[in-house]
Structure 1
Amino acid sequence: MAAPRPSIILVTGVSGSGKTTVGELLADRLGWDYAEADDFHPKANIEKMRAGIPLTDDDRMPWLRAIARWIDERLASGKPAVVSTSALKRRYRDMLRRPEVRSVFLNGDRELIERRISARKGHFFPAKLLETQFRELEPPEPDENTVEVSVRDTPDEAVQQIIDALNGPAGKD
């Protein structure tokens, strides 16, 4: 028997990988709600990143707990949603993992992502912090059952690949 379709999709990757763009488009295509993980950061985290100071694991814990609470609330209410979050390390993803949650990883090369970050207007995350994100990134392992999509794909192509993967053999147990 096929497992039920996930009711929460995490769109993960380093800053500038297209999480918001892909996440919003995916949620729109599915008719689900969307949440931007940056909105869960305490003000102190935003100010620290704006100042070019990388976050520590201690800084990230309240943020991850807030996202996990939001996921649990969504699951309890039966309202499916997409949420974008860097979830750079496995232990972060493990905090957010639930049977009804499926992860997507937007994977790409640093040069392309750095160009994207440099072109963004009005975002608090400076390009110089990208180095720390790549240094801390622990790409998903096969046992995490993550859909991997290249950042070189257009957002429409990425979303279609995600939907196909969720509806195909990888989306069934």
Structure 2
Amino acid sequence: MARFISGRAVAVTFGVLALTLAGGGIAAAQTTAAKPAAQTGQPGARPAAPAGQPALTPAEAAQAKAALQEGASPSFVAGSTSFAVVSAAGVLVRGHDAVSTTKYGPGQYQVVFNHSLTRGGYVATIGDAADCCIPPTGQVSVAPRLGTPNGVFVQTFDSTGAAADRPFHLSVFTP
């Protein structure tokens, strides 16, 4: 009678089976405690993140419109970069073409420029508002300001993803 499986193949097969079962047992023995939402890495998992942008008040809309009318200044050139450096308190420290800032709540800011930002691109980073120093850790997100063609909405977060006041640098690239 012919041998179909050698002794060595049987030993390797049982070894692989034993390791597979042992690995599965270890995986089953891991704790099943759920990780906090901020650690899951899933989109939209930030705790305590504001649901959306605050409503635009008539006064803010009028201020943004006035800034647009003044925006026909010679300082703006199509295809240029505008920027703003904003403190954690929401104060406009310095900038180019930036007109005003508004702080709405923890980590929520609006930055208004003197020209339309439609079809533009926004980039922000956590950064110290002074001319020195290392900024606090955190995260930042930017979006067009709803109802304001010359505004940008900025949200800042601490390292865990909770809304927090952070200074930031914002660059706006317009075509």
- What range is the shorter-chain TM-score in? under 0.3
Which fold has the larger relative contact order, with Cα–Cα distance below 8 Å and residues 6 or more apart in sequence?
1
Q: Give the TM-score, by structure 2 length.
A: 0.24
Which structure's residues are more often strand, by fraction?
A: 2
Task: Name the larger-Rg structure.
Answer: 2
Q: Give the TM-score, by structure 1 length.
A: 0.24
Which structure's residues are more often helix, by fraction?
A: 1
